[in-house]
Chains A and B, each alone.
Chain A
């Protein structure tokens, strides 16, 4: 085998690395504008309608492990090729760090199985420092992003309701689905406890937004990715139409190693490894967009070292990889006695909750922590998979039933009786970004392609722990008020109140943060690298702070805003 590097003769207008939310958005808009694009994706091609890949509408017994999570962390039918660990692609940790990094390697990245919770950031979320003095403000305000949220709503589709809540901006909403029974029970309890519950906002088509995508047929399986394209996946909704324009060359199984530069501090393209033949290739382009996910893009930049960029590319500030932050998370399960022996009907609904709780205490000053959280809910008569029916005895004990049903027909009946009576709540909160939480290159470790890997350093502060305590108290209060029984023990101080390890909520952002000052930020407000004008980062990396909202809708809106700016610059001949 020869190790000569293969160079492509075509020079593209734009080379995009990563086909997730940010990369897909850039590809779609730039292809529509007529630019020649190379879209590089480290994973294989994917289409939920391809019957060899499809998992939607499959039954648990089609899997010999009944959907257990042995090879896919969220179970056999979940549509993520990857997970917390990738074979041959490790990451390492500093002492006392337990960061979990979820990677999906496939066309569309993590948008194939994500929760579709599509929340806008509110005006406060861009300026939190003004109110609590912590972290940093964004260099932009809500009004800068609003027109792009509007466009994303209309192009992609999100259902919801207009609520007029100050920090939960309304958008262009498709009609919401009616709540499920357990959600009505939770709502009753929540409202008694002073906790609001409103229709959720999910990017699922309860009505089509164009003729290319079908309407939702209520199978509750968006995490398996929809063969009717009725949910938002970057692969089906953005990349597919982008490729159709004829302006996009899609390179799958193309693992980008670094961004290439010339002597003048400009990006000239990227170098990648073709995973099929394990050879190195180069792609040349006028502009490079990194959208490989926050940590992967930081890794590529840090690995793009040269004499001119000894700390890595676009890193004169030294903050590439710094300010890494994830949402906080803590959860609790419960049991609704009124739902024992419930009547059967198809309760699937959409692939996610129909109601949720937005943060309701923005005006409280005495909580002991300053950033909020929202609450997500699950429950109902969902489809059994591996793990179903474990520990039925515990529920029986709760109901005070002392019959001897440890086995036999009695046990069988008990399982049937308790089906659909358990539920759960999960808080997802804003953490405060800190410079001391970061990823860097571990110079002692390479992956199987010889690319140096990331090493994480991350710890929670008291703010996040106190927030988790508040979540747990709220969960109990709501359960108490709805007549439900909390299951298991309430996680106390010794368990950090159930606060999940960083990374676990999979909203990691901040590693290439935006700002006005090139000394303390990596990109400007248009996601353009301060140091390298023809280099952009369009994933969650540029986030200054991750609100108590999930990040993807904002990744999409900012990618659109950045792409508009980029298009203008290209047309003016500035790049």
Chain B
């Protein structure tokens, strides 16, 4: 991955002037590159990584393994596109192995997720079976540990 993207993946709020210094570019070049990534759709958006467990939201998150019948034209894409439109779906991937789609969903209550699975997901034509797992605690999300890092234990001055 391009160094600029790596930096933004780590901290999307990094200022173009800082990025320019780190990469030995001009600020203008950095801005132009970012604009280009956005235009091409390589950068899809910027979000905060939130530790939801800390917020007492009582929301429920689940991972659902879905088996589907591939279609003659388009394989898994049509069903995936349909599923992706549901706002409950946080992320969605095609998998190799024992099932086809892995779906991450969020709901306000257990019931919401259950309803989503039984009424929306399972009823889609081509869906053969589903298997739902509820998430209990998140330890790491998008490369970020959810526990606060311990303090630097190094001596404050060393040769």
Same complex: no
Q: A-contacting residues of B (Cβ < 8 Å)?
A: none
Chain A residues within 8 Å of B, Cβ to Cβ: none
